[in-house]
Copies of this chain bind each other. A is one copy, B any other.
């Protein structure tokens, strides 16, 4: 391999593919980046065997070839180089990187040992705005939590229809669901799958700030997210991820369709009060609300025998039955933090039924949380 490439372009690619390479002791080659030539492109590839990523950069290819080199070392090195032309050359299993007066020889491992990234056929696909999609995923991704006994809820659930993508996550104490309406899709039937949480976090990392669209292609065992180059009609980034096997719980059943008490509150005031109350909550993270439709405010209490006690109130519109109810402040805050509207609706079902938090004026997001039973 012998090529010329711009430092700025190589740096961009290395910084993205580096995120996926893993520190594997049993399979050291997973710590490496595969450099390979493909037509007039340099292709960078990394994988942790769960996710694989390809990144293409236009380059001047003098001689084709391929090699793998340690990812952190390589990206740290290229990051510190000046924004000039870089010469890359493979010699005796070393990658020579020269840029102006900087001359380096990086020890490589043979490209033959590098695992193959599975190919996903471009048959079924849907496309959406990259940054909007990532913003939506951000509202639910942290709710999922690793579970050995129920691996299916370790991932993010995707339910696709012709014109929408519904994503959901739960850890069995609370649940978030977000709906995205699509402009175009080549889907003729509904379909669903569970994507590992790590993949979703990497999607947000990599595509969160991108302009334009990403296209999702799917096969029974893998999905692929593809982002096109702006200048030429060629993929720039492809992320291929395995899916989690198993059936996602029928969570629609636990979303209450009615409520006994409804409160509409200013989101920021409510959030701030719960943060303060959390300072005085005890071991089970309990904060308590007293709600009475005769009052125009929700009262907040917390108490810890070792620290002291707190009480405050937030103005709100209250409808329905009076009640006292307790929540784990962490779970409650997570829901509020995922909502960006200025006002929120709290729908309660007695002091032990599931509660709903949702934004006012936006029916695409819903957060369900179980109260703490205090009796």
Interface segment, A135-143, A208-216, A227-235, A274-282? A274-282
From 72 to 108 in chain A, residues with beta carbon under 8 angstroms from any chain B beta carbon are 73, 76-77, 80-81, 94, 101-107
| Measured CA separation A312–B100 after assembly (Å) | 9
In angstroms, how far is the closest chain B Cβ from the Cβ of A314? 9
Q: Is A27 an interface residue (CB 8 A)?
A: no
| Measured CA separation A84–B102 after assembly (Å) | 59
Q: B102, B106, B272, B309: which contacts A276 (Cβ < 8 A)?
A: B102
Q: B73, B101, B272, B306: which contacts A307 (Cβ < 8 A)?
A: B73
Count of chain copies: 2
B312 and A275 contacting across the interface, CB-CB below 8 Å: no
A103 and B311 contacting across the interface, CB-CB below 8 Å: yes
In angstroms, how far is the closest chain B Cβ from the Cβ of A104? 5
Q: B73, B101, B105, B309: which contacts A105 (Cβ < 8 A)?
A: B309
In angstroms, how far is the closest chain B Cβ from the Cβ of A68? 13
A312 and B106 contacting across the interface, CB-CB below 8 Å: no
Q: Is A331 an interface residue (CB 8 A)?
A: no
Q: A303-329 vs B: 1/0 string, CB under 8 Å?
A: 000111111110000000000000000
| Measured CA separation A86–B102 after assembly (Å) | 61
| Measured CA separation A176–B73 after assembly (Å) | 31
Q: Is A335 an interface residue (CB 8 A)?
A: no
In angstroms, how far is the closest chain B Cβ from the Cβ of A102? 5
Residue of B nearest to A280 (CB): B104
Q: A102 to chain B: which residues have CB within 8 Å? A: 276, 310, 312
Q: Is A371 an interface residue (CB 8 A)?
A: no
| Measured CA separation A77–B275 after assembly (Å) | 9
Q: A272 to chain B: which residues have CB within 8 Å? A: 80
Q: A306 to chain B: which residues have CB within 8 Å? A: 107
Given A102-B312, A312-B102, residue A80 in contact with residue B307 (CB < 8 A): no
B276 and A77 contacting across the interface, CB-CB below 8 Å: yes
| Measured CA separation A106–B276 after assembly (Å) | 13
Q: A155 to chain B: which residues have CB within 8 Å? A: none
